[in-house]
Structure 1
Amino acid sequence: MIEISRRTLALSMALIATIQMTLWTPINSLPQGAPETVCDTMLPFHGGGIPPSSSLPPFRIETSSLVIGQGQTMRVDITGVPPGLSFGGFMVQARNRNSPHQIIGQFNPSSDGRAKLMNCEDSVGNSATHTNPGPKQSVSLEWQSPVDFLGEVVFNATVAQAYDSFWVGIPSSPVQVVRRETAGAYPQTTRLPYVTPPPRGVYAPQTEVPTVRESQEDPFYSECGRSKTCFGFPNGCIEDKSCKSLSAITVRGDVYEFEMKSGRDGAAYIALGLSEDAKMGEDLVTECVPQNGRVNLYSSYTSGAPNYGSSRANVPQNGARLLQSSVIDGVIYCKVQRDVVTQVRGKRFDLLNNKYHLLLAAGTALKDNSVGYHDIGRLPSGSPINLAVVQALTGSSTLLLRLHGAFMVIAWIGTTSLGILLARYFKQTWVGKQTCGKDQWFVWHRVCMVTTWSLTVAAFIIIFVEIGEWSGERNPHAILGTITTIICFIQPIGALFRPAPNSKNRPIFNWAHWLGGNLAHILSIVTIFFAVKLSKAELPEWMDWVLVAFVVVHVIVHLIYSIAGCFSDRQQAQQANAFQMSDMGHHGMRNGHRMDHKLDAPYASFRKGLLAAYTVILILFVVALVLIVVLAPIEETVDQLSGN
């Protein structure tokens, strides 16, 4: 009983003390500053749940500059509006504008002793708070930016004017963190216009404030060819500083640093591979992948035929270290240091003693354990290099790729279109003229189709020599092109075994040959349309309109010939009936009828004239499309030719 009474007494005293502490309302802020339990919300627990004020804060957060270099320091001031207004407690920290939950940088110890540092998210000194609740009209802090971050930060503060009067999430204007060597090129400023924060906001950066943009001259290119080897795509873009994606290698002794930067095309990753043969398979790949507001570094290994792709499985992730990284306006940047020797799946990558091709790639998709297809672009270097030797580096030749495209355009836009037209509408033209005992239409039809067959087979072989693998793009171009090539290959073989004109199987052959030819032609045009979407082809989107114009012209010409054919058949039938009636009973009927068949069908001159015009237009289309294919990417080529 005595023990129970003692325990009851102790609980009663503790309860009374708790009630007294709850009812006691102090005048000032927490005397020892904000606890680290509020690092995320920045919300003080005053009076058991007093809400923050939603009125316009009478305080502002000002920075000594809008731009700061990596690893540099700047002043951050908390002042009243108007100046001289006092406050008691405060808490301030810098947040990543693109990922507001990420606390950036660290504060230096206060020289006047009015602020102390807080360790939030296991990082030392990344937040600051007051050391005493006494009134103060301003506080100046020194903040240092991280050396591995590029982007915008916003300083957010909680300021308490009194115990029951405080504001949470007061933001500063955005501060741009840039590379240290370029910080001096930006305009510097201090006191900025006041920005009204959202009610009861917590670490909410204001998106209405204009951001500071990088200068037009990208500093990435500044040391290319002097202290680092640069490589980017499209090929030759380093000289005019117009790369969609680029990389650089800097070697100092046994320190190997790799830099990568994507373009503004929505890249989900940028990657650089080291290859012995400039083709995918058994390559060491360095990936920079933005995830959850920060860039993550991965190492992966590519596999060759038949399962092309890359994977991080069983690849050591400790052979590389991320030195710097950022994601600004969708542009990925990372700087990575790699070990001199890396052992992956039994293969040794020795950067000091071996030469490697560079494989630069970027894409818009990710897989579970690797990057996705390089639909933005991929370019292998033209030759293997010693990474320690600074040099100008270009991509591998695209001659075979351009020849493939040019051959297919000539074959299926040019010779096939003309050959089908001759076979369909000119069997009753040039009737009295033959070449090597064959009708004119047949001779020219065969010339066109043999040319198509030869160019198609050559283009099919060329593309496999160039790529060395089946296309990994999510584009039906490859499969449609293969089907077209198979049909094209079979067509002349079938023609060699065509039945005699009076054979009962001749109609079957005629229909099969007609169907195969037209099906291949239609598939080929569709395949060329899909080629415009291939990242490796680098064709302009407006090429679709050139193809559409060709299709329209081709269809119109077929319609005109079909209408003219109907009139020709009707007139020919009328002439035949009139001839039979006038020569009935005469012995010359048979001979006269034979002579009539040696004449061209009606409207022959019209057909020949339209054929000449169509041929000229067709040549113009073919020349234009071939130039687009050969000069791709044509926008960059035009700029170079014009001197821009």
Structure 2
Amino acid sequence: MQDSKMIPLVIFLIFLCTCALTPVTGYPSGKVTSACRSMRPDHGHAPQAEPIHSINVDKTIFNPGDRIKVTLSGSRFNGFLVQARDVENLDGSAVGSFALIDERVSQLLTCGGIQNSAVSHTSKERKLQVEFFWIAPANSPKHVQFLATVVEKYKIYWVKIAGPIISQPNTPPIPSKNHSSMIPVVPPSLHKRFSPAGCGSTKFCIRNPVSCDPEHNPKCFFLSFRKDGQSVLVEMSGPGQGYISFALSYDHWMGDDDAYLCVKEDQGVQINPAYIRGRSHPEVSSPDVLRDVAWRLEDGVIQCSFKRNIQIPASKERFDLGGSYYIFLADGDAKDGLLLRHQRQPLMTNRMYNISGFPEDVGGSRSPLIIKFHGAMMFVAWMTTVSIGVIIARFFKPVWPTSSLFGEKIWFQIHRCLMITTVILTAIAFVLPFIYRGYFSKRAGYHPHLGVTVMILTVLQPVLAVFRPPPQTPRRGIFNWTHWATGTAARIIAVTAMFIGMDLQALDLPDPWDTYTMVGFVLWHVFVDLLLEAHGFCLLKKEYIGLFYV
């Protein structure tokens, strides 16, 4: 029992080691052209609010063609990205070009099709200060501001630190606007819980338990999609220790999926799109495709909402919301903003749905029906039919010593029917997981290996029975002991496999009641066996005493 509880822990520790070795979307080489527009690293963490680094220039008035020395300094940092942008359009493309002073610590990048329009680090070696030149273009805007993203370490970074503004001579003053603040990075909080009103009429909803209300039930997993013109408003809610997320998939397997993460971090929630390749850690993408993001934390419930365009042609990783997909809803732990493997099977719809089409109110299941049939058949086979069959053969021979049915003794016919039923149920149940997965599961620990052993012993028993010697021959004793040993080994291994299988995610049984139920069945069978053994002993003793006094 204790070993069965240790197996999921071992698998979990192996997964953690794998995650630790899995490359994340960091750029120690400084090749950060994918972040040119947002200037935000795809680290999946919230940026810091107050900058502790500064940008300085050697002059604030410039003419086209001038070279201006730019210095980025502050506490030690690993990475950086610096651009110059038009003050009137800080979200636009970079302007001008840079020239290096020390090629060992900085390098030039091409952003927005403009060569050398950004400068970044060459390695993750820690540094206190970097210097380079900015060259003003011929068509330079009247006012230019320098922006910098600085990474101290993976979790700690600052986005678009505002630097000094430089201007061309005799230009009008800068329009009244706060240019010294950083871009907003923390989404606003939601003021109230999500409501199921409109599910099935104005919005597509997934709820678990079925028809639960996220307003009043903190254990309700809720996901809704409401079409709003050319975009979709998404609301997601559920109890989560570290994160809740949903994914759109072309099949019912994890991998090649468009995912959206709501990760609890410190006292807030980080909302990001991501892409899942195979069973690896999600690859966090730029949040630029999301807007109107908001979140809420209360009583262990994570809630987040955002809008996303139905179609994003520029990104293959963002699926067209006008298509049909299987929908996954998962939750789990997170450490320092990094997602850990979920401890239970994600909730999944039973078929593909178009979330921007006709509104529906559906549920989902954490355990595939075919796996439930597998567990049910194995339970019936090894906790009922085989146990009753053994009891009949062991203790009911004296009850029907001479009665026969179809040419064989009644006890033997009942025993044979029950054992044939066990073989059939075991064989069907054995192939169901292979039909579902299509391969031998490597994540189920010892359970599939024990299952194969049980299947071999189950087939071996009727084969041995075919070659059963006549009752009075010397070989009959060898057969009896072999038959008993094979059957007993199969029962012990089958029960062990069931105890291990109950903890697997795919079955999603209520813990710890599943274990208590199995223990109860095992104890009941042991009690019945002991009771019948005692009863048989008393009968033999009574017969012996009767013979003694005759």
Give the strand-richer structure, 1 or 2.
2
Cα gap change, 1:238/1:470 in structure 2, threshold over 3 Å: closer, same or farther? farther
Report if aligned partners of 1:231, 1:248 keep a CA contact under 8 Å in 2.
yes
Report if aligned partners of 2:214, 2:220 keep a CA contact under 8 Å in 1.
no
Deviation at 1:474, TM superposition (A): 6.6
Code of the residue aligned with 1:355 in structure 2: it is: S
2:534 paired residue number: 563
1:391 paired residue number: 360
1:553 paired residue number: 524
Deviations 1:28-83 (A, max 9, x none): xxxxxxxx999xxxxxxxxxxxxxxxxxxxxxxxxxxxxxxxxxxxxxxxxxxxxx
* Structure 1, unaligned runs of 5 or more: 1-35, 39-100, 103-118, 127-145, 151-177, 183-217, 304-308, 580-644
1:412 paired residue number: 382
Deviation at 1:401, TM superposition (A): 4.2
Is it true that 1:287 corresponds to 2:257 in the alignment? no
The correspondence of residues 161-310 of structure 1 with structure 2, limited to 5 A, is 178-179=190-191, 182=192, 218-235=193-210, 237=212, 244-263=220-239, 266-296=240-270, 297-303=272-278, 309-310=279-280
Is it true that 1:360 corresponds to 2:336 in the alignment? no
CA distance in 1, matches of 2:330, 2:476: 54
CA distance in 2, matches of 1:319, 1:512: 69
2:84 paired residue number: none
Report if aligned partners of 1:149, 1:325 keep a CA contact under 8 Å in 2.
yes
Deviation at 1:421, TM superposition (A): 0.9
Deviations 1:305-337 (A, max 9, x none): xxxx24335x74456437123433332222244
2:187 paired residue number: 148
- Please give the secondary structure, in 2, of the residue aligned with 1:219: coil
Structure 1 residue corresponding to 2:432, chosen from 443, 452, 462:
462
CA distance in 2, matches of 1:472, 1:228: 39
Structure 2 residue corresponding to 1:518, chosen from 453, 468, 488:
488
CA distance in 2, matches of 1:467, 1:365: 28
CA distance in 1, matches of 2:210, 2:439: 21
1:452 paired residue number: 422
Cα gap change, 1:280/1:421 in structure 2, threshold over 3 Å: closer, same or farther? same
Report if aligned partners of 1:269, 1:364 keep a CA contact under 8 Å in 2.
yes
Report if aligned partners of 1:405, 1:459 keep a CA contact under 8 Å in 2.
yes
Report if aligned partners of 1:148, 1:325 keep a CA contact under 8 Å in 2.
yes
The correspondence of residues 579-598 of structure 1 with structure 2, limited to 5 A, is none
Cα gap change, 1:506/1:279 in structure 2, threshold over 3 Å: closer, same or farther? same
CA distance in 1, matches of 2:215, 2:438: 31
Code of the residue aligned with 1:268 in structure 2: it is: G
Code of the residue aligned with 2:458 in structure 1: it is: C
* Structure 2, unaligned runs of 5 or more: 1-49, 53-155, 158-177
CA distance in 2, matches of 1:37, 1:299: 27
Cα gap change, 1:353/1:479 in structure 2, threshold over 3 Å: closer, same or farther? same
Cα gap change, 1:238/1:453 in structure 2, threshold over 3 Å: closer, same or farther? farther
The correspondence of residues 468-479 of structure 1 with structure 2, limited to 5 A, is 478-479=448-449
Structure 2 residue corresponding to 1:437, chosen from 407, 413, 419:
407
Deviation at 1:511, TM superposition (A): 2.5
CA distance in 2, matches of 1:355, 1:558: 55
Q: What is the total number of aligned residue pairs between the two structures?
A: 373
Report if aligned partners of 1:320, 1:339 keep a CA contact under 8 Å in 2.
yes
Code of the residue aligned with 2:530 in structure 1: it is: L
Deviations 1:256-304 (A, max 9, x none): 34332222xx53322211112233333222222223443232503142x
- Please give the secondary structure, in 2, of the residue aligned with 1:286: strand
- Please give the secondary structure, in 2, of the residue aligned with 1:311: coil
Cα gap change, 1:353/1:330 in structure 2, threshold over 3 Å: closer, same or farther? closer
Cα gap change, 1:295/1:491 in structure 2, threshold over 3 Å: closer, same or farther? farther
Report if aligned partners of 2:246, 2:261 keep a CA contact under 8 Å in 1.
yes
Query: What is the aligned-residue identity percentage?
Result: 29
Code of the residue aligned with 2:281 in structure 1: it is: S
CA distance in 2, matches of 1:451, 1:366: 49
1:332 paired residue number: 302
Cα gap change, 1:399/1:448 in structure 2, threshold over 3 Å: closer, same or farther? same
Report if aligned partners of 2:210, 2:362 keep a CA contact under 8 Å in 1.
no
Deviations 1:75-126 (A, max 9, x none): xxxxxxxxxxxxxxxxxxxxxxxxxx99xxxxxxxxxxxxxxxx9x9658x9
Report if aligned partners of 2:214, 2:221 keep a CA contact under 8 Å in 1.
no
Deviation at 1:447, TM superposition (A): 1.0
Cα gap change, 1:272/1:470 in structure 2, threshold over 3 Å: closer, same or farther? farther
- Please give the secondary structure, in 2, of the residue aligned with 1:522: helix
Q: TM-score, length-normalised on structure 1? A: 0.49
Deviation at 1:483, TM superposition (A): 3.9
2:146 paired residue number: none
1:635 paired residue number: none
Deviation at 1:418, TM superposition (A): 0.6
Cα gap change, 1:238/1:507 in structure 2, threshold over 3 Å: closer, same or farther? farther
Structure 2 residue corresponding to 1:537, chosen from 508, 513, 532:
508
